[in-house]
């Protein structure tokens, strides 16, 4: 069983790599961003609330995000493991996730951090915005999201590093090249 999360700045390839890890390890990938975007598209109450934060590049409040993750992790398809993408983003969310897992007598096995240079990320995200038309990918919002990542999420990374379960992987390069590095890093982390 593998319980893990993938973390990294916006545009580092988390979603792409999460899909590939999910396929190769046979675990469910759970993306909070995908869940938020589905709710926005469906104009659900959660989606309407989340959209105003997402369009500004801000984090959706913990109260909304935590409930959504708790509900998702209680579903049957995560019995054989899971890969969280986009959560936790704050140390308070780390504590909340610890509580969810402790309720099931579980813990995370590995935390995978994709790393990349900020200017490379801005270029990637502006390209993605042109391809997909995402309203939350303009330069001002992208730079704000990167500032949030550095200001808040790096504390999450430090917390997992202190626990000895953090593995860093260079997220720059071709998709297959990064996937090879990711899978090797997971293999090494699981055998440690």
Catalytic residues: 14, 89, 128, 134, 145
Secondary structure (3-state) at 173: coil
> Is 99 annotated as ligand-binding?
no
Residue whose C-alpha is closest to residue 89's, from 143, 21, 8, 172: 8
Q: How far apart are CA 139 and CA 135, in angstroms?
A: 11
71 is in an annotated binding site: no
Q: Is 16 annotated as a binding residue?
A: yes
Between CA 113 and CA 119 the distance in angstroms is: 18
147 is in an annotated binding site: no
How far is Cα 165 from Cα 13, in angstroms, rounded to an integer? 20
31 among the known binding-site residues?
Answer: no
Is 13 annotated to bind a ligand? Reply is yes
Residues at the annotated binding site for ATP? 11-16, 128, 173
Residues in binding site for AMP? 32, 37, 58-60, 86-89, 93, 134, 145
Q: Which residues are annotated as a binding site?
A: 11-16, 32, 37, 58-60, 86-89, 93, 128, 134, 145, 173
């Amino acid at each position: 069983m593998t319980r893990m999360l993938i973390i990294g700045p916006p545009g580092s390839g988390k979603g792409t790599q999460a899909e590939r890890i999910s396929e190769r390890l046979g675990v469910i990938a759970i993306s909070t961003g995908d869940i938020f975007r589905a709710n926005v598209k469906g104009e659900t109450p959660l989606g309407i609330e989340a959209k105003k934060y997402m369009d500004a590049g801000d984090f959706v409040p913990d109260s909304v995000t935590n409930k959504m993750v708790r509900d998702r992790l209680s579903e049957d398809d995560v019995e054989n493991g899971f890969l969280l993408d986009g959560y936790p983003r704050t140390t308070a969310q780390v504590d909340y996730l610890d509580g969810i897992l402790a309720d099931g007598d579980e813990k995370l096995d590995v935390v995978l951090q994709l790393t990349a240079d900020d200017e490379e990320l801005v270029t990637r995200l502006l390209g993605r915005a042109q391809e997909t038309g995402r309203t939350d990918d303009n330069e001002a919002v992208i730079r704000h999201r990167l500032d949030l990542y550095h200001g808040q999420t790096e504390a999450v990374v430090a917390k997992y590093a202190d626990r000895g379960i953090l593995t860093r992987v260079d997220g720059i390069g071709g998709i297959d090249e990064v996937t090879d590095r990711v899978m090797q890093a997971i293999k090494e982390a699981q055998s440690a």
